[in-house]
Amino acid sequence: MKIGVVGCAGRMGRMVIEEVLATEGCSLAGGTEAGSGPIGQDLGTLVGASATGALVTEDVEALFARADAVIDFTVPAATRTHATFAGKTGTAYVVGTTGLEADDLKLIETAAETAPVIYAANFSVGVNVLLALTERLAATLGADAFDIEVLEMHHRHKVDAPSGTALALGEAAARGRGVPLDQVSRLSREGQTGARPEGEIGFATLRGGEVVGDHTVMFAGGAERIELNHKAASRAIFAKGAVRAARWLDGKGPGLYAMSDVLGLD
Ligand code: NAD
């Protein structure tokens, strides 16, 4: 399977290159970068490995045309372009970019009408299990007795908040309670906030150092508290999940799939 890596010089892009090189049956179709990136460099040498013959270019269309699957960890503006090319070419498309707005997600859904697509705010196996557990606990522990808070910490370079994973955990909790998240979410608090309304799903964001990604979902009752924790120690887990998702898409028809489909969690 030939895998293309858009944003291949980024922190995640490099991890994906390493994972493709380490995966039997997979090879690199090439990569793209923004104009200021290392255009013309070999993807192998970009990560300190041997040359592969696959180069970094700015030609997104050509990459989608020659790849069997494209993996995207970039920025929302670039992902909008990539989703359009995935739709045009029907190439399997794995999207991990976070900070996407509703309109961006619509573009991904449109691409999924003609291409097999997986979007996940977090490609780690552990976090996807955490999502399933969160939904189940939220459905079991009533909003009258338990308050839900989602806490996350990431490295100092992260540009969006709360993290896509924190929001996905909030979505899972809201789904468990049968309510839309946007009607019950409190994304941050400061000043005279008043007492906590029943049913609210709160978020708290920490930033610092090189923390890869910590997430906690708290279910706080009157005299007891349940906390679900996940701590990522290396970005490699996201790259592994994304390459696993790309391989799972091989031979699938158009549609928007989830990591829970890849992992058989439903
Ligand atoms: P990064 O800034 O290190 O990498 C982004 C790369 O995209 C950069 O190299 C940048 O030059 C490149 N880029 C920007 N515009 C481009 C364009 N038009 N064409 C091609 N390349 C372009 O960031 P990162 O830490 O690798 O994270 C990237 C994204 O992935 C973020 O949104 C982050 O939150 C998300 N992320 C998701 C997961 C997940 O599991 N879903 C895990 C980690 C990070």
Q: Give me the average pLDDT of each 10-residue run along the chain (266 residues).
A: 98 97 98 92 97 97 98 98 98 96 97 98 94 97 97 96 96 98 98 98 98 97 98 95 97 96 88
Instruction: Quote the tokens at residue 262.
Output: 């890849």
Q: Which atom of ligand 1 is nearest to the CA of 120?
A: 41
Q: How far is residue 46's CA from residue 140's CA, in Å, rounded to a whole number?
A: 48
pTM of the model: 0.90
Sequence-distant (6+) residues with CB within 8 A of 141 are 219, 221, 226
How far apart are the CA of 77 and the centre of ligand 1, in A? 11
Angle between helices 125-140 and 236-249 (to 10 degrees): 90
Please tell me the distance between residue 247's alpha carbon and the centre of ligand 1 in angstroms: 21
pLDDT tens for 70-114 read 999 999 999 999 999 999 999 999 999 999 999 999 999 999 999
Q: How far is the CA of 250 from the centre of ligand 1 (A)?
A: 23
Determine if ligand 1 sits within 6 Å of the CB of residue 123.
yes
Ligand 1 atom 37 nearest Cα: 96
Strand partners, 257: 118
Q: Give, using CA atoms, the residue closest to atom 1 of ligand 1.
A: 10
Q: Is 154 a catalytic residue?
A: yes
Q: CA-CA distance, 227 to 214, in Å (whole number)?
A: 13
Strand partners, 256: 117
Instruction: Mark whether 158 is an active-site residue.
Output: yes
Query: Active-site residue among 88, 155, 158, 252?
Result: 158
Q: What is the pLDDT of residue 266?
A: 72
Does residue 37's CB lie within 6 angstroms of at least one atom of ligand 1? yes
Work out which ligand 1 atom sits closest to the CA atom of 99.
Answer: 32
User: Which residue minimizes the CA distance to atom 39 of ligand 1?
Assistant: 122
What is the atom index within ligand 1 of the atom nearest the CA of 14? 26
Residue 73 Cβ < 6 Å to ligand 1: yes
Beta bridge mates, 30: 4
Answer whether 87 contacts ligand 1 (Cβ < 6 A). no
Please work out whether the CB of residue 239 comes within 6 Å of at least one atom of ligand 1.
no
